[in-house]
Amino acid sequence: MNKLLIASCYTLLLTTAPAFAANIYRCVDEAGNLTFTRQGCPTNQTAQIQTAQNPTPSSGKAVPLAKPRERRTRHEKQPSRQLTVIGKKDDGCGNRVTGSARRNAIISQQVLPGMTRSDIDSAFGTPDAVTSRNGRTQYRYVSDKGQTRTISFDEQGCVRGKR
């Protein structure tokens, strides 16, 4: 009885090995643009299901390498492709301050025209006083040394530039 129980448990463990593969759709539109997605392809594109294997590291199983591409000669030019931006983030301030400039300003506690209220909150914390007049808002910060800093926002919540 004991051996039968152990054998059935061992068999159960072997048959329930996890599968580390996912189906990915390879979509090609009329212009030849290629997209990979997990949600499926639009009806006007050709679809092909790709299987993506993700084996566990050190599982001991050999992973086949990709087939090498044919090398092109130096004189043969590749067709130029145009970059298409699918989605773009809009901060509501015209994206005047982006990327590393935004991060550097927040870290060094600088105020740049075009920063958002959340940027100012990240740099300075909660303001000591908030005033609003005609749709425009001002944040006032008072330091421990008694110095006052006032930051003005426009109607969209963006830092206004100096006049």
Which residue has tokens 């800093």?
149
Write the pLDDT tens digit of every residue in 38-61.
Answer: 778 888 888 888 777 666 677 666
Per-domain boundaries in the chain? 19-55, 99-153
In the structure encoding, which two tokens stand for residue 99, read together? 């990327």
When pLDDT is averaged across residues 54-69 and rounded to a whole number, the result is 68
Query: At residue 130, does pLDDT exceed 80?
Result: yes
More confident residue, 76 or 13: 76
Write the pLDDT tens digit of every residue in 77-122.
Answer: 667 778 776 766 777 788 888 888 899 999 999 999 999 999 999 9
For residue 73, give Cα distances in angstroms to 66, 68, 135.
21, 15, 63
Report pTM: 0.46
Q: How far apart are CA 47 and CA 24, in angstroms?
A: 10
Q: How far apart are CA 7 and CA 13, in angstroms?
A: 10
